[in-house]
């Protein structure tokens, strides 16, 4: 039987850091997706709603934006870790 190893405090802190910034990326992607659909940018809303399976198109759009914005939010936060806060 396998023993469960509890996370160490620094591991919990790192997971909270990553999850917090991924949630920020998720929120940004939801907002951007809503803005794209609300403004009908390049006729995208019309194309999606006119398709036979609009949920598939919306899912792919949202997933792509989530990956992009989540990665950007996490990347920015990780790169900002090394900055000297006193300057």
pLDDT of residue 59: 96
Q: In which band, very low, low, confident or very high, does the pLDDT at 80 lie, cut at 50, 70 and 90?
A: confident
pLDDT of residue 87: 59
pLDDT tens digit sequence for 3-60: 788 888 888 998 999 999 999 999 999 999 999 999 999 999 999 999 999 999 999 9
pLDDT of residue 7: 85
pLDDT of residue 3: 75
Return all residues near 19 (Cβ < 8 A) that are at least 6 apart: none
């Amino acid at each position: 039987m396998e023993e469960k190893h509890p996370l160490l405090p620094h591991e919990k802190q790192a997971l909270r850091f990553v999850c917090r910034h991924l949630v920020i990326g998720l929120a940004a992607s939801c907002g951007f997706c809503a803005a794209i659909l609300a403004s009908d940018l390049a006729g995208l809303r019309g194309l999606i709603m006119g398709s036979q399976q609009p949920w598939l198109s919306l899912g792919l759009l949202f997933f792509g934006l989530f990956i992009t914005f989540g990665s950007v939010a996490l990347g920015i936060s990780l790169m900002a870790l090394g900055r000297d806060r006193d300057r």
